[in-house]
């Protein structure tokens, strides 16, 4: 069994990858010691009934370097395995057409690798996490770049911190754009505002590509926002874990990965 670990700014996701994926999320507390992360791993295994001896390899995708070393050390102690970090120990099986490839967050490339296993390029991957990222894979299966926008939770927190009288609301689908109360107006603005953002940026990306891209949504709010989108798309909540698995397998076998995935199209 492969343990994939996605270290993000809000959460750390631990995914036990075999035929199926079983995932657990823990808050990205940078003040924790490696021993405290060991306790979290122990708790996850006790809850899931997965024996730690089943873990044969550990692969980490991280955008928080301060946490990477602590969690890597925790895994070394707990599993007696040396975790591999994507972008350092493991190479990407995809060409990156960025001005400085080192600037691209590992999560964005990992998502793109996974997307190429699911649909034919060109592709736009939209990750609705702490930030909303739009990642574009061109017709050749190369990573082109994308766009980054403040995430839903960040925007909502900013709204409430600056406006004393506005009530805090849950993010949810709304039927009408025109809210009949302050609460419903805020919910409408958040829901349809982000739906319109996604549809608008996808339209502009399509115009630049001059091709109709396949669209994949992932991330914490994808299952809410998908309800309002008027564009063809699919939702894959475990996209990052699928990408971790593909990068691990490619590095293990060093196959001509992109030629291989074309057989899926």
Point out the catalytic residue in the list 6, 82, 89, 107.
107
Contact at 8 Å (CB) between 28 and 64?
Answer: yes
Is position 256 annotated as part of the catalytic site?
no
Contact at 8 Å (CB) between 57 and 81?
Answer: yes
Return the beta strands (E) in the chain as ranges.
2-7, 11-17, 21-27, 57-62, 84-85, 123-128, 131-137, 143-150, 214-218, 234-235
Helix (H, G, I), strand (E, B) or coil at 168: coil
**CA 92/CA 114 separation, integer angstroms:** 11
Q: Give me the sheet containing 123-128, strands edge to edge.
A: 143-150, 131-137, 123-128, 214-218, 234-235
β-strands 123-128, 131-137 pairing = antiparallel
Closest CA to 57 of 189, 260, 249: 249
Compute the half-sphere exposure of residue 9: CA atoms within 13 Å on the CB side of its CA.
12
| Whole-number Cα distances in Å, 207 to 40, 50, 86, 106, 223 | 46, 48, 32, 27, 26
Annotated catalytic residues are 107
């Amino acid at each position: 069994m492969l343990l994939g670990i996605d270290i993000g700014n809000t959460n750390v996701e631990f995914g036990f990858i075999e035929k199926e994926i079983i995932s657990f999320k823990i808050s990205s507390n940078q003040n924790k010691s490696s021993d405290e992360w060991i306790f979290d791993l122990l708790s996850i295994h006790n809850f899931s009934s997965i024996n730690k001896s089943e873990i044969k390899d550990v692969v980490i995708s991280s955008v928080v370097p301060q946490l990477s070393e602590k969690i890597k050390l925790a895994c070394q102690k707990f599993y007696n395995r040396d975790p591999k970090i994507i972008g350092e120990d493991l190479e990407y099986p995809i060409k990156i057409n960025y001005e400085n490839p080192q600037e691209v967050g590992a999560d964005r490339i990992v998502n793109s690798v996974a997307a190429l296993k699911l649909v034919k390029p060109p592709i736009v991957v939209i990750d609705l996490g702490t930030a909303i990222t739009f990642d574009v894979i061109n017709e050749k299966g190369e990573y082109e770049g994308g766009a980054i926008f403040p995430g839903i939770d960040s925007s909502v927190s900013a709204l409430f911190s600056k406006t004393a009288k506005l009530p805090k609301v849950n993010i949810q689908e709304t039927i009408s754009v025109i809210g009949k109360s302050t609460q419903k107006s805020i919910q409408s603005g958040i829901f349809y505002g982000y739906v319109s953002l996604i549809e608008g940026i996808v339209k502009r990306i399509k115009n630049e590509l001059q091709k109709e891209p396949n669209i994949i949504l992932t991330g914490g709010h994808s299952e809410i926002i998908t309800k309002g989108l008027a564009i063809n798309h699919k939702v894959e909540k475990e996209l990052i874990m699928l990408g971790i698995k593909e990068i691990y397998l490619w590095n293990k076998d060093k196959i001509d990965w992109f030629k291989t995935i074309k057989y899926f199209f």
